[in-house]
A and B are shown apart, each in its own frame.
Chain A
Amino acid sequence: MQTVNTDVLIIGAGIIGASTAYFLSKQGLQVLLCDAGQSGTKASGVNFGGVRRQGRPLSQMPLAARSHQLWGQLSELIGIDGEYIRCGHLKVAFTGQDLDRLQAYNHRVASCGLDLQLLDAGQVHSRYPWLSTDLAGASLCPADGHANPRLVSPALSWAAQQAGTRLMEHCRIIDSRYDGRHFQSDTADHQRIQSRFVVNTAGAWAGDIAAMFGEPVPLTEIYPQMGVTEPLPPIMNVVLGVQGGGIYARQVARGNIVFGGSRALSVAAGYARSSHQSVSMLLTRLAGLIPGIANAHVIRFWSGVEGATPDLNPYLGPSSKTPGLFHGFGYSGAGFQVGLASGEVLAQLIATGTSHIPIEDFRIDRFTADSGKL
């Protein structure tokens, strides 16, 4: 068995893993970034592409704020613009009650720098005449936006490579253990990787890695249902969300409207396909929300697999059991925006032992009995 030595082994080359690799390499550590498939092709590459802070819980605000800064430097980080646009994120409310909820949220996050603007029905209609007239109002986060995940996530891995990371694709870790001094990780193709640190950023599959270290955590698979229309003339000037969920949509520069909401189905472990109940519901909601596109065509539906936690907050930080092991997964369908800062946090934890971003709420042991938080 061939042994590869490295400072840090990162398992999973999605946006979190690639970002971690990037920042660690920048600090001069030796990094091996491996992925069971190709970099950025799972949830990181096929997600909706929303880059938003609005709607996140208070506990995620420092992480989201740091990510917002990093997204602002995306071109310098990854060498391409990734179709990242800060066009604003508009969260609409269909009822007065939902509008009240938006208002309450605005008060809660008032100090977080989101610059939220609450709009009444008339303001929504005059600013966004392409939207349904049935809306009670909306909340706008002007500097939120969207990007193209299938470009950004692989490019981040390549940026990490440029910074010195060794990227190993089609490399599945089948066993990993800590011998008191080093981590010994075995790959499916009979290599052994010896490292001082292991970072578990394996997305929906990260639960298996955590379990290898006797640290099982609640993690369920979710399958967001998404679709995209044919290219249409420019209509949408913001990314759309709805209070209470159900549908979200954005229009890309090419003209296609990407939309999502509800859940697809799992047909086999780690593989999802479109659910027709969801598709039917989604199309009805889309036509209801943007009546002008009811006659446009959908050219593709897809889904992906993502890991979700009971409280929808990620597991981010050190292992509660194994020194040198770190986790960054369970983003529950909302990891794209916070992915960049999450990697930076993990890199800081490894390099310096601390993080300037509060991550207490993302502790991996928060659901276990002895953490007192169950």
Chain B
Amino acid sequence: MRAPAPVIVGAGPAGMRAAQVLVQAGLRPVVIDEAPKPGGQIYRQQPDGFTRGARKLYGFEHSKASALHEAARQMIASGQIDYRPNTLVWDADDRQLYVTCDGKHDAVPYERVILATGATDRVLPFAGWTLPGVYTLGGAQIALKYQGCAIGKRIVLAGTGPLLYLVAYQYCKAGAQVSAVLDTSPFPTLRQGVQAFVADASLMAKGLYYMAWLRARGVSMMHGVAGFEADGVGRVESVRWRKNAASAMQILPCDALACGFGLRSENQLASLLGCNFVFDEQDCNWQPQVQPGGQSSRANVYLAGDGMRIGGADMAELTGRQCAYSVLQDLGIHCDKKQVAQLARRIARGRKTRQCIDRMFALPAHWMDAVDDTLMVCRCEEICAGEIRQMLRDDPHSGLNRMKALSRVGMGRCQGRMCVAGASMFLAQEQGIALSGVERLRNQPPVKPIPIGGAACKP
């Protein structure tokens, strides 16, 4: 008898490559995708009727994107995978995934599940961050990639991470005016540069190309920016920034600001499934505990891609395949040992590269130091730093979950997905403890809001 088909959550590079390995072994996995077409965020496909070419959409990565889309297309067309687009997995227990598709709720049984749920931008709050016209870097990129929409005509990009320069490049290419790139990380040291070159020369070359290209077009790029704020009446009209804590604010007029501070894994399903978590110093975040093959602490739950550890698209393809091999091994299905060993080596190399990148684009550790009482920390519930400080006077040793209960930070529509990074840094700062000393925000279902009426449609 054939082994029951594993279920894969996510159809980005990790999910689709995992599916491919399972298909090659004769399985027919279920692939659940929140998006209408496979590709994930990084290789998101444009809507029907849009005709931009892959090179225009994905730049240097166009051949990887096309290859992934083609692999997905073939598996879907031939029925090798059971592909479920437009489907949100909003909860999971030890037997079933709970999904909503077209506003209707349903359950998908599983025996083994691969979570390839990707990541979102890590958002840190700053004055004016909730003004209309302020976007995340990833959001700005998706607007452009998916529907060919720019977030504005005169744009400032701020924060840190490799995405900063890529998005600047993409927006310039699309015809927008990028007023400035404000990077909170200092310019990489020579040593960091050399290390990165040794780790992955082509990746580093691409980064340098974007920066050179931007410089040639007169885009000003600031490194080691101490802080920035969005300003405007009704919407963002300018960005104020300063080079260091002592220097005066400079003003950059703009009609849109995109910012992000690296990526944050979407790991809520692993949490709802009861997987153990560990604090990952590199990701500055609580992450599911995994073995080298992507096995979580739960026997039938596997992880891959950015949802496991932030690694980027190439790593997602590799860890997706690796984790599928782990599933096959656990199912007693033969797999090519050489392939598995080779993957492990490439992944180890990729991790080293990632360390170099993370060192160059470190999270600004002091971002939440001495923030103003009026700074909004939780935008869903509109909770400001001063209210949290007031709460901490009543309960000085409050953990993050208690802080949520008492102050409502993380209690709104996003359930902490957007504010948890800033809230954790703020709590660490206020209590004088390390970020790793701040407990993990417990997750409750649903992962994202679900309609009440959906249940009524189910027989």
A residues whose Cβ falls under 8 Å from a Cβ of B: 38, 41, 45, 150-151, 154-155, 158, 229-231, 254, 267, 273-274, 276, 279-284, 286-288, 293-302
Contact = CB atoms under 8 A, between A and B. Distances in A.
A131 B366 CA distance: 51
Contacts of B98: 276
Nearest to A302: B444
Interface in B87-115: 91, 93, 96, 98, 105, 107
Contacts of B334: none
A151 B406 contact: yes
Contact of A286 (B107, B452, B458): B452
A287 B453 contact: yes
A158 B445 contact: no
Contact of A154 (B395, B411, B454): B395
Given A294-B451, A300-B444, 10 more contacts: A41-B402, A150-B406, A155-B394, A276-B93, A282-B455, A283-B452, A283-B456, A287-B455, A294-B452, A294-B456
A121 to B, nearest CB: 23
A300 B381 CA distance: 14
Nearest to B455: A283
Contact of A298 (B93, B274, B449): B449
Contacts of A155: 394
A274 B455 contact: no
B107 A297 contact: no
Interface string B416-459: 00000000000000000000000000001110011111111010
Which 6 interchain pairs have the tightest Cβ spacing? A297-B449, A283-B455, A294-B453, A150-B405, A280-B455, A300-B444
B455 A301 contact: no
B415 A299 contact: yes
A82 to B, nearest CB: 12
Contact of B454 (A281, A283, A300): A283
A296 B449 CA distance: 9
Contacts of A287: 452-453, 455-456
A359 to B, nearest CB: 31
B444 A296 contact: no
A298 B402 contact: no
Interface of B: 91, 93, 96, 98, 105, 107, 274, 381, 394-395, 402, 405-406, 411-413, 415, 444-446, 449-456, 458
Contact of A274 (B96, B394, B405, B445): B445
A296 B402 contact: no
B316 to A, nearest CB: 29
A154 B406 contact: yes
B445 A301 contact: yes
A220 B378 CA distance: 38
Contacts of B415: 299-300
Contacts of A297: 413, 449-452
B93 A45 contact: no
A302 B93 CA distance: 14
14 contacts: A158-B394, A254-B381, A273-B93, A276-B98, A296-B452, A298-B446, A298-B449, A298-B450, A298-B451, A299-B446, A299-B449, A300-B444, A300-B446, A301-B445
Nearest to B442: A302
A276 B91 CA distance: 9
A150 B449 CA distance: 22
A298 to B, nearest CB: 6
Contacts of A279: 455
Nearest to A158: B394
A294 B381 CA distance: 22
A233 to B, nearest CB: 15
Contacts of B381: 254
Q: In this complex, which of A41, A151, A283, A293 has the most chain B Cβ atoms within 10 angstroms of its Cβ? A: A283
Contacts of B406: 150-151, 154
A301 B395 CA distance: 26
A210 to B, nearest CB: 28
A296 B96 contact: no
A293 B452 contact: yes
Contacts of B450: 297-298
A297 B451 CA distance: 4
Contacts of B454: 283
Contacts of A276: 91, 93, 96, 98, 107
Contact of B405 (A45, A273, A295): A45
B85 to A, nearest CB: 21
Contacts of A231: 412
Most A CB atoms within 10 A — which of B105, B395, B455? B455
A279 B450 CA distance: 11
Contacts of A288: 456
A155 B274 CA distance: 31
B449 A230 contact: yes
A299 B451 contact: no
A302 B442 CA distance: 11
Nearest to B412: A299
